Amino acid sequence: MEEEIKKVVDLQEQIDTDVLIHGEPERNDMVEYFGEQLSGFAFPFNGWVQSYGSRCVKPPIIYGDVSRPKPMTFFWSSATPSMMKFETCYQIALAIKDEVEDLEKASINVIQIDEAALREELPLGSPSTAST
């Protein structure tokens, strides 16, 4: 994993990317990855459904109380700061933190934070064929 992360960071530096990411090679699908890190979630083996674009996911089955038994992103995220532009990442994190705190003050109970799905290369086809 560390070798894959290094490749992604090196490529981003070569093309002069402003904000570097570690590429998330440890993740399968975003829903499944985080669900697997939590207790109380299960995923079907072959229960794929189309999520959006060309993305398919295995939707979670919530069977009990949900809790976080251990950190979910800390290990891989903390393994890569020496390869990244830390200051910029920290500034983004602080901005997101401030936004979340404002939403919490407004009594927003559920907050979802996503990154853009840039690998989709949409559109997949004309609107007449997209629903078939």
Total domains present in the chain: 1
Q: Residue 122: which domain range?
A: 2-130
Is pLDDT of 121 > 60?
A: no
Mean pLDDT of the chain: 76
Average pLDDT over residues 66-89: 72
Is pLDDT of 131 > 70?
A: no
pLDDT of residue 37: 82
What Cα–Cα distance (Å) separates residue 117 from each residue in 32, 51, 52, 122?
16, 12, 10, 10
**Amino acid identity, residue 35?**
G
Q: Model confidence over 80-118: pLDDT tens digits?
A: 656 556 676 677 778 888 888 999 999 988 887 776 444
Q: Which of 50-59, 60-69, 88-97, 109-118 has the weakest average pLDDT?
A: 109-118
Classify residue 85 by its DSSP letter: -
Contacting residues for 66 by C-beta, under 8 A, at least 6 apart: 38, 39, 40, 41
pLDDT of residue 31: 75
